[in-house]
């Protein structure tokens, strides 16, 4: 289905709907939260009854995007004309919100992940877009909905965080043009950047200290990896959201091509985050082969197995990709 056709169907469905729920994935990042809140505020401004749900709530550094406290935890008593899932590659990524949106007439899936499973009744999946926020911006423009300064802040935060502050290869001329348009519509660059990049929670810094003290290098210093366990969170007085961005410090080390963060969620369930700074090493493909997904420069997976087995499997996959890159 062509993009123009999908957009038309989505806008028609929204116009017909009175009660709408906007949901996002677990462990939400800036793109997820920014997209959710921008869409929620925009739909409320149209007079819709809008509920905004996320299992893990609002990360502290993104709270400035929600002055009206619109973000809520999912509840079982929901019944909606339409549910819009944003930035979620699969239905299970919605976590506890999944059973809570069962009583719906229509499910719309808006996302930019290559690994998206097209689980919606209407699916707008654009892997060539730098962020889901970019798609939400295009939705606003197609519908000619007004973009106020709060919506502009949300969308700017979405695209900025998912492009590594416009550093990842996914950043295109259209991405930068959109950012400029959001500034024209009132996005406060100083405020957004202060909250996103210059307001580190103390718990995050305590975790970062552990990263620098215990990270490992392998394969000629081209791979950097680190383990986070529940005791690390407890000793640092941190929450899972406080680990956001830790991996980027490993990625920034000069010889490193791929950074990897292993997080032990359960005895035999490991969350793996991957970052690449070489376009020849696509961590999205690595993550997909491991049962996850993502983008060329940033991806992840949840893998069952013992910590040692998972680490060996992931590092072997990265090493294989590095060897293949040398022949390109």
Cα–Cα distance for residue pair 106/84, rounded to 1 Å: 8
Cα–Cα distance for residue pair 247/214, rounded to 1 Å: 13
Q: Which residue has the tokens 């995050």?
A: 204
Other Cβ atoms less than 10 A from the Cβ of 268: the count is 13
Of residues 232 and 293, the one with the higher pLDDT is 232
Cα–Cα distance for residue pair 323/317, rounded to 1 Å: 10
Q: Which residue has the tokens 């116009």?
A: 15
Question: Which CATH number applies to 203-326?
Answer: 3.10.310.30
pLDDT tens sequence across 231-270: 999 999 998 888 989 999 999 999 999 999 999 999 999 9
Query: In the β-sheet with 107-111, what is the strand arrangement from edge to edge?
Result: 71-72, 49-53, 19-24, 82-86, 107-111, 122-125
Q: For the chain, what are the domain ranges?
A: 3-197, 203-326
CATH architecture assigned to 3-197:
Alpha-Beta Complex (3.90)
Q: Residue 167: pLDDT above 90?
A: no
- What number is the average pLDDT over the span 54-63? 92
Cα–Cα distance for residue pair 18/314, rounded to 1 Å: 46
The answer to whether 241 touches 60, Cβ cutoff 8 Å, is: yes
Cα–Cα distance for residue pair 226/112, rounded to 1 Å: 28
Residue 49: strand, helix, or coil = strand
Q: Residue 2: pLDDT above 70?
A: no
**Judging by DSSP bridges, how do beta strands 216-218 and 223-228 pair with one another?**
antiparallel
The runs of H, that is alpha helices, within the chain are 3-16, 30-45, 97-100, 132-143, 149-162, 173-184, 189-197, 202-214, 230-236, 246-251, 283-289, 307-326
State residue 327's pLDDT score: 76
Q: Residue 139: pLDDT above 80?
A: yes
Cα–Cα distance for residue pair 288/115, rounded to 1 Å: 7
The answer to whether 105 touches 81, Cβ cutoff 8 Å, is: yes
**Judging by DSSP bridges, how do beta strands 82-86 and 216-218 pair with one another?**
unpaired
Confidence of residue 170 (pLDDT cuts 50, 70, 90): confident
- What number is the average pLDDT over the span 39-58? 96
Q: Which residues pair with 293 in a beta bridge?
A: 300
């Amino acid at each position: 289905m062509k993009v123009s056709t999908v957009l038309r169907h989505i806008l028609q469905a929204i116009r017909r709907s009175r009660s709408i729920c906007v949901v996002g994935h677990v462990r939400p990042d800036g793109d997820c939260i920014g997209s959710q809140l921008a869409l929620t505020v925009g739909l409320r401004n149209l007079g819709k009854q809008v509920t905004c749900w996320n299992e893990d709530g609002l990360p502290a550094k993104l709270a400035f995007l929600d002055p009206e406290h619109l973000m809520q935890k999912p509840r079982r008593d929901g019944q909606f004309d339409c549910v819009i899932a944003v930035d979620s590659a699969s239905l299970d990524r919605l976590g506890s919100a999944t059973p809570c949106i069962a009583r719906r007439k229509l499910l719309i899936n808006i996302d930019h992940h290559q690994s998206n499973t097209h689980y919606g009744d209407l699916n707008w999946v654009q892997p060539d877009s730098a962020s889901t926020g970019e798609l939400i911006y295009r939705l606003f423009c197609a519908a000619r909905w007004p973009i106020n300064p709060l919506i502009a802040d949300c969308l700017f935060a979405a695209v900025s965080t998912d492009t590594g502050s416009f550093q990842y290869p996914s950043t295109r001329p259209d991405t930068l043009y959109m950012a400029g348009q959001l500034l024209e519509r009132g996005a406060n660059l100083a405020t957004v950047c202060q909250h996103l990049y210059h307001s580190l929670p103390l718990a995050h810094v305590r975790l970062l200290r552990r990263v620098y003290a215990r990270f490992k290098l392998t394969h000629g210093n081209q791979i950097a990896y680190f383990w986070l366990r529940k005791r690390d969170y407890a000793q640092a007085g941190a929450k899972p959201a406080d680990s956001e961005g830790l991996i980027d410090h490993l990625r920034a080390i000069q010889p490193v091509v791929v950074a990897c963060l292993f997080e032990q969620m359960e005895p035999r369930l490991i969350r793996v985050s991957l970052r690449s700074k070489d376009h020849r090493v696509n961590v999205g493909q690595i993550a997909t082969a491991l049962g996850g997904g993502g983008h060329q420069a940033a991806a992840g997976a949840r893998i069952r197995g013992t910590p040692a087995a998972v680490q060996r499997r992931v590092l072997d996959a990265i090493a294989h990709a590095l060897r293949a890159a040398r022949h390109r």
